[in-house]
Amino acid sequence: MNRDCMNRASGVGDARSAARMAVPILALALAWGTATGAFYEWGGAAARGVKELREKRNREAAASLRSGREELAHSAAVRYDEALALSRAGLADSARQV
């Protein structure tokens, strides 16, 4: 029996082709998440701001999210969370400027 037939019989070829298909899909998902700022909760100043916002420390959250906005300038989620923190802190006028 030749080697190609043995690989087909054991399913090795199917696993390799599935792995080859998964790599571009994973790369595309990672690129999308990075481009949209979807992973901002995982690290940096914005993540610290989200944690502070959940703990109801609104002024600290606003400051952290402001510096997080510099890191993720195109992320609408960071701007929204910063405006939410400012609004909760009683600084609604500042929230309008975000």
How do residues 21-71 score in pLDDT, each as one tens digit? 888 888 888 787 766 666 555 678 888 998 999 999 999 999 999 998 888
Over 80: is that where the pLDDT of 83 sits? yes
Over 70: is that where the pLDDT of 16 sits? yes
Amino acid residing at 39: F
Whether 39 and 52 have beta carbons less than 8 Å apart is answered as no
How large is the C-alpha radius of gyration of the chain? 22
Q: Both tokens of residue 65?
A: 């999210």
Cα four-point dihedral sign 89, 67, 40, 94: positive
Domain boundaries, the chain: 3-36, 40-97
Whether 65 and 85 have beta carbons less than 8 Å apart is answered as yes
pTM exceeds 0.95 for this model: no
Residue 4 CA, chain-centre distance (Å), reads 42
